[in-house]
Amino acid sequence: MARRDLRIALLSIEGTNCDEELRVALATLGARPEIVSLKQLEGREVGPEERRRLADYDALFIPGGFSAGDYVRAGAIFAARIRASIGPELEEFVRSGHLVGGVCNGFQVVVELGLLPGRSGGRLGTPEAVLLTNDSGHFECRPTFVSWEGGAFPALRDLPKGTRFLFPSAHAEGKLVLSGDPVAHLRSLERAGQVMFRWVTPDGAPAVYPWNPNGSPGNVAGLTNPEGNVFGLMPHPERSFFRAQAPDWSRHGGPNGFGDGHRFLDAVLAHAERVR
């Protein structure tokens, strides 16, 4: 593939635990993903050979996990450390049009940073939403389905609205609650095309529990910022990247080939190539 010069930082701190899965997926698609500790970007407690700079990368992903133990709120401590250490660099990275993606705990982090739903110009700020404890009151881990809403995310614009993806979920705090008047806020995001994914049933109908694993109003499972270069989603595309990860592989077609996560991440990288 012609993506060997597409450099992607997978940002991690203690508690991040999906970085290697995401690294394998992006490397399989031909990119050059690198797991980068926040300390490497800060230049703290690392030698010169380990120092990294955000500007050296074409895209940034914040993987899933339980960063800093998810104390305070899920993703809050990771977001606070990013804001305090590399906040200005991250704002410039977003303003320049680079792609920033958050998966599960990474979605929680970008929401806590104020990058999602987001302000024009890529500015960090007070959170405009929060990911609260699932309505069930416990950790939910199962195959789930999302539907592409045909919005502002340019990587998926060639797909028909309603295209479904099987992405597994694994989270305890995934209920998206918007600030202010949540109903009016959601309507404004819908009009702006910022609702990227909604939870659906396997046949594409509006989801109820357990197909909506957390109770998010409007079945919202993923968002983008107004410009479409910051995105976040609660389920895990890297966990449905290979066909062997599918729950039905032993009954239908065997373990070879790729799953829906490959289709999604391939489209994301194709867009990252276009805007770099």
Q: Kindly state the tokens that stand for 130.
A: 């929060």
CA quadruple 160, 199, 82, 56: dihedral positive or negative?
negative
What is the rounded distance in angstroms from the CA atom of residue 258 to the CA atom of residue 168? 15
Of 169, 159, 142, 150, which is closest to residue 235 (Cα–Cα)?
169
Q: Is 138 an active-site residue?
A: no
At 102, is the secondary structure helix, strand, or coil? strand
Q: Is 89 an active-site residue?
A: no
Q: Is 141 an active-site residue?
A: no
Catalytic pick from 21, 98, 104, 171?
104
Q: Kindly state the tokens that stand for 229.
A: 């270069």
Catalytic pick from 171, 236, 262, 271?
236
Catalytic pick from 91, 238, 262, 271?
238
| Strand ranges for 188-260 from DSSP E | 195-200, 220-224, 230-233
Q: Catalytic residue numbers?
A: 104, 236, 238
